[in-house]
């Protein structure tokens, strides 16, 4: 007679239940929208968004390496998204995109641009939605005229960015998505000036990082109008200036959204020059939170390395547990601010939350985030 243990194992193998599906998020993100100063789902429940960035679609295509920064260049598959689902109450994934690749402009390699690129992004969004994630689509890389978007521009351009958002809004008539209008605005690289905030809202003339030439920058009002002109009522995010860390002028320059579905976006890093502590969050974020939701689109780890060196050399040993990141995430959670951490990419550096696409967390940053997301 077989033992009960052997029978159980055989049953699991026969029924395919040896690896149970991770549980769904505690609150559904289906029908994500804004009600007052909260994100809500289709039944009106308040939703606090928590999760990750998955970088790659903003640069791999333009470098000719694939649609995403994955081993096969394709969108992360079921194994990866299932692993994300296993990280507790994670329910949001931010996906940075490339303007030229989405539109199929001449600057983008044809093999990874146009409808092929759009199909890869749609595939990833469908998979994320199926596993209970809202997809935050972010215009991350752009360039005016015939420029190649290898670096971030200070503002979107009137040459292509409005067409980008019209196309994205038309392509995502259904599904649980949020549009992050522009990754990290930095008009004039100024932290808090009237001309920077005016340009942020209304547009101006700036110098392109990618071409070195002056270009007409589009303001947030134009981007909102481009999306709403398609009939879309999707939730929109407008990030502040100085690489989305300065929020002081956000309310005074708040873009006009006829759909009433506009939230604020903030980026939090330990090396922020203007806003990097709870005193600033109290001063700058609390007034915005009283009016609209805030999503911190990028949150980084506590770093030992000097801010000037983070782009050159930031190994995993540069991350320390707790400290600034712990204090920041505590404040965000306590005040109902949504966030997506940077980044679910196995790069092997200080930014990596995972060691591999299967979701094994890195020793410091990854384990810190997984513990937080697992907490009730």
329-368: pLDDT as tens digits: 999 999 999 999 999 999 999 999 999 999 999 999 999 9
Task: Say if residue 69 is preceded by a cis peptide, omega within 30 of 0.
Answer: no
pLDDT of residue 376: 53
User: What is the rounded distance in angstroms from the CA atom of residue 348 to the CA atom of residue 290?
Assistant: 39
Q: Which has more pLDDT, 10 or 102?
A: 102
The string of DSSP codes covering 94-118 is EEEEEHHHHHT-TTS-GGGSTHHHH
**142 in a domain, yes or no?**
yes
**4 in a domain, yes or no?**
no
pTM higher than 0.85 for the full model?
yes
Q: Which has more pLDDT, 26 or 107?
A: 107
Domain count, the chain: 1
DSSP SS3 for 252 = coil
Instruction: State the pLDDT confidence band at 20, using cuts at 50, 70 and 90.
Output: low
The neighbour count for residue 357, using CB atoms within 10 Å, is: 18
User: What is the rounded distance in angstroms from the CA atom of residue 38 to the CA atom of residue 86?
Assistant: 25
User: Does residue 188 contact residue 206 with C-beta atoms inside 8 Å?
Assistant: yes
Report whether pLDDT(312) > 80.
Answer: no
**11 in a domain, yes or no?**
no
Tens digits of residue pLDDT in 50-105: 999 999 999 999 999 999 999 999 999 999 999 999 999 999 999 999 999 999 99
pLDDT of residue 19: 52
Q: Give pairs for 64-73: CB < 8 Å, separation 24+.
A: 64/109, 64/111, 64/112, 65/112, 66/112, 67/112, 67/116, 67/117, 67/120, 67/121, 68/120, 68/124, 69/345, 70/357, 71/357, 73/112
**16 in a domain, yes or no?**
no
Tens digits of residue pLDDT in 211-232: 999 999 999 999 999 999 999 9
- For 137, phi then psi, to 5°, come to -90, 125
**275 in a domain, yes or no?**
yes
Report whether pLDDT(10) > 70.
Answer: no
Of 54, 92, 97, give the one whose Cα is nearest residue 76. 54
**313 in a domain, yes or no?**
yes
**60 in a domain, yes or no?**
yes
Q: Which domain holds residue 149?
A: 45-374
Tens digits of residue pLDDT in 160-205: 999 999 999 999 999 999 999 999 999 999 999 999 999 999 999 9
User: Does residue 294 contact residue 337 with C-beta atoms inside 8 Å?
Assistant: yes
Q: Which has more pLDDT, 16 or 243?
A: 243
User: What is the rounded distance in angstroms from the CA atom of residue 118 to the CA atom of residue 103?
Assistant: 8
Could you give the angle at the alpha carbon of 79 between the alpha carbons of 75 and 83, nearest 5°?
110
DSSP SS3 for 241 = helix
Give the domain CATH number at 80: 3.20.20.80
pLDDT of residue 6: 38
The continuous run of DSSP H or E covering 185 comes out as none
User: Does residue 221 contact residue 256 with C-beta atoms inside 8 Å?
Assistant: yes
User: Does residue 106 contact residue 42 with C-beta atoms inside 8 Å?
Assistant: no
pLDDT of residue 17: 47
Of 123, 130, 139, give the one whose Cα is nearest residue 76. 123
Report whether pLDDT(3) > 70.
Answer: no
User: Does residue 66 contact residue 59 with C-beta atoms inside 8 Å?
Assistant: no
- For 169, phi then psi, to 5°, come to -65, -35
**28 in a domain, yes or no?**
no
Helices 220-228 and 194-202: angle between axes, nearest 10 degrees: 20
User: Does residue 327 contact residue 280 with C-beta atoms inside 8 Å?
Assistant: no
């Amino acid at each position: 007679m077989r033992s009960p243990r052997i029978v159980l194992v055989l049953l699991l193998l026969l029924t395919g239940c040896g690896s149970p599906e991770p549980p769904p998020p505690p609150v559904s993100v289906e029908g994500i929208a804004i009600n007052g100063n909260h994100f809500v789902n289709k039944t009106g429940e308040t939703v606090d968004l928590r999760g990750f960035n998955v970088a790659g679609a903003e640069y791999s295509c333009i470098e000719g390496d694939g649609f995403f920064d994955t081993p096969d260049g394709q969108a992360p598959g079921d194994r990866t998204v299932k692993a994300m689902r296993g990280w507790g109450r994670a329910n949001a994934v931010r996906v940075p995109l490339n303007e030229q690749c989405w539109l199929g402009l001449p600057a983008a390699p044809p093999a990874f641009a146009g409808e092929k690129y759009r199909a890869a992004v749609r595939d990833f969004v469908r998979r994320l939605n199926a596993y209970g994630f809202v997809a935050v689509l972010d215009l991350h890389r752009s360039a005016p005229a015939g420029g190649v978007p290898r670096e971030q521009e200070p503002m979107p351009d009137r040459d292509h960015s409005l067409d980008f958002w019209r196309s994205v809004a038309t392509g995502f008539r259904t599904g649980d998505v949020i549009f992050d209008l522009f990754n990290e605005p930095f008009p004039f690289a100024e932290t808090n000036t009237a001309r920077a905030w005016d340009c942020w809202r209304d547009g101006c003339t700036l110098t392109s990082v990618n071409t070195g030439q002056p270009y007409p920058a589009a303001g947030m009002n134009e981007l909102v109008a481009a999306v709403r002109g398609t009939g879309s009522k999707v939730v929109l995010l407008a990030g502040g200036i100085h690489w989305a860390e300065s929020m002081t002028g956000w309310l005074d320059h708040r873009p006009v959204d006829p759909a009433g579905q506009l939230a604020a976006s903030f980026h939090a890093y330990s090396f922020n020059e203007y806003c990097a502590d709870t005193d600033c969050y109290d001063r700058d974020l609390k007034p915005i939170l009283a009016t609209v939701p805030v999503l911190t689109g990028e949150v980084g780890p506590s770093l030992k390395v000097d801010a000037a060196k983070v782009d050159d050399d930031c190994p995993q040993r540069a991350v320390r547990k707790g400290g600034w990141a712990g204090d920041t995430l505590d404040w965000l959670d306590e005040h109902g601010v949504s966030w997506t951490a940077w980044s679910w990419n196995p790069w092997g550096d200080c930014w990596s939350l995972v060691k591999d696409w299967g979701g094994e967390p890195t020793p410091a940053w990854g384990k810190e985030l997984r513990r937080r997301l697992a907490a009730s």
